[in-house]
């Protein structure tokens, strides 16, 4: 059992918003995450509730979604636990960690790195799907059989990839403006070459579109929801939702890909459509 340090707690829509820190055995460093527990979790602590894991994007942390998205009111209505980990290892001492890479410091990309020196700490896939999942379903009142995952940008990539790589963990998935084909965009090429080396076959294992193209049948018959703003400055060069759309069509995977005129890449966009995502997951969990 991990030792959770409660950093802060705030009353929120009848439940509580908490921020935790713990010594991560997977990462080898302290990690932070946030949890919203609805009133039902407080009234009957032994009761197991569905949990929704949110993976944030570049330059974000465990605080960003909980502060900006306005999701707690909706989670309270549906009796959902919300969980948001930090995006990346912090203060590793590795040269280059804080380099901007033109898109954000120390981006974790929700993968397990295989290349030194990154492989020592960059194990975000194992952290989210094993260690954090175990904490949330062991020490907090989340039902391990009713978990979903969603995210934004790099976190949208993480959600689409981890859901496909760990169908035993996640029953539902959605994304806001995901990096849908990272093996063919500058952000992904930079991160993958650094963390995974030059073997593009290894890259494909963390590319949502490539993974979906290799599916023998629809992994999420209840459907996947993706929202994309058409005023997103990263759309043409970095995100490639059309690649994921084509892969889903080939695999027979039901996909609702909504394109919204006038919306950009930020949290005004996310907060506008968050209710639809919460309802999407609540219906499947």
Pick the catalytic residue from 157, 265, 280, 281: 265
Q: Rounded distance, CA 22 to CA 30, Å?
A: 5
Pick the catalytic residue from 34, 88, 153, 174: 153
Pick the catalytic residue from 88, 232, 277, 281: 232
Q: Rounded distance, CA 138 to CA 22, Å?
A: 14
Contact 124, 154 (CB under 8 A): no
For residues 14-26, b (16+ Cβ closer than 10 Å) or e, as one string? Answer: ebbbbbbbbebeb
Active site (annotated) includes residue 227: no
Contact 169, 133 (CB under 8 A): yes
Active site (annotated) includes residue 153: yes
User: Beta-carbon neighbour count of residue 201 at 10 Å?
Assistant: 8
Helices (H), 149-254: 154-165, 186-196, 200-204, 208-213, 241-251
Catalytic residues: 153, 232, 265
């Amino acid at each position: 059992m991990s030792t959770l340090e409660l950093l802060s707690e705030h009353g929120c829509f009848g439940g509580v918003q908490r921020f935790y820190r713990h010594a991560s055995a997977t990462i080898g460093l302290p990690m932070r995450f946030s949890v919203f527990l609805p009133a039902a979790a407080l009234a009957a602590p032994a009761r197991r509730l569905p949990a929704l894991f949110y993976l944030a994007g570049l330059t974000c942390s465990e605080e960003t979604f909980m502060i900006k998205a306005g999701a707690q009111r909706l989670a309270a209505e549906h009796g959902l636990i919300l969980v948001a980990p930090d995006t990346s290892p912090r203060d590793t001492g590795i040269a280059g960690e804080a380099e901007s890479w033109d898109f954000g410091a120390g981006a974790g990309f929700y993968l397990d790195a295989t290349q030194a020196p990154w492989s020592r700490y960059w194990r975000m896939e194992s952290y989210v799907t094993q260690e954090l999942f175990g904490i949330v379903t062991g020490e907090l009142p989340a039902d391990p059989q009713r978990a979903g995952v969603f995210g934004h940008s790099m976190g949208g990539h993480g959600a689409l990839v981890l859901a496909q790589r760990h169908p035993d963990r996640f029953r539902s998935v959605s994304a806001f403006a995901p990096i849908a084909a990272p093996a063919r965009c500058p952000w992904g090429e930079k991160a993958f070459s650094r963390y995974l080396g030059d073997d593009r076959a290894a890259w494909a294992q963390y590319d949502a579109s490539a993974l979906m193209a290799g599916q023998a049948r629809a992994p999420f018959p209840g459907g996947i929801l993706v929202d994309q703003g058409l005023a997103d400055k990263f759309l043409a060069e970095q995100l490639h939702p059309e690649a994921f759309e084509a892969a889903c069509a080939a695999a027979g995977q039901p996909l609702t890909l909504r394109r919204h005129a006038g919306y950009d890449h930020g949290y005004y966009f996310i907060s506008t459509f968050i209710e639809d995502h919460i309802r999407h997951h609540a219906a499947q969990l």
